[in-house]
Amino acid sequence: MQAGIFRMRNKAIFFDRDGTLNVDVHYLHDPADFVWTEGSIEAIRWANAHGYLVIVVTNQSGIARGYYDERAVHRLHDWMNGELAKHGAHIDAFYYCPHHIEGKIPVYTKSCDCRKPAPGMLLKAIAEHNIDPAASFLFGDAESDIAAAENAGVKGVRYEGGSLMDCVRGAVESSAITNGNENEADTEEFCKNQRGGDSF
């Protein structure tokens, strides 16, 4: 490619991990404890098929607290992609924050710009993968996820249970129909738990 030629920016769907892609188990690090949430594999495959980079952004304070190390996080993420490959899906990149101000491991015990709601993980991914934040989404189950998305210029959508596939497809297609001008309530209508309560 010749210098100076414009390179099209990518669009991405960012996912929180615990409570969004998998059932939230405190300080999850062992694949034996991993359970996909309803529709999560299908949601990732749908995003792959529709031209979105799929990127996980996850707070992992268990590293700072000494419950597991970074190698355990990498092993779990490799396992996730191995399982997804069986279903024709994949995650393009994982970003995690190992820090916490109340940690026990000194190197990780600090405030930082990557722990959500700070946008550091998203901003790093945006820079490294040439992502257009205005064309991208973040799906997460916590207010900190939505705040991180907003701080990075990405559309944040709160996942409240039920089918993650329905949540992702509904929110993305709704945004396309309204040219990105829908209000948050309209988008999140697709992401509310229709099962009458939190099953996790």
| Residues known to be catalytic | 16, 18
Give dist(CA 70, CA 82) in Å, integer: 18
Give dist(CA 81, CA 71) in Å, integer: 15
Q: What angle do CA 145, 149, 153 make, to 5 degrees?
A: 175
Q: What angle do CA 109, 111, 112 make, to 5 degrees?
A: 115
Give dist(CA 39, CA 24) in Å, integer: 15
Length of the chain: 200
Query: Which of 191, 161, 160 is CA-nearest to residue 173?
Result: 191
Query: Which of 141, 145, 185 is CA-nearest to residue 159?
Result: 141
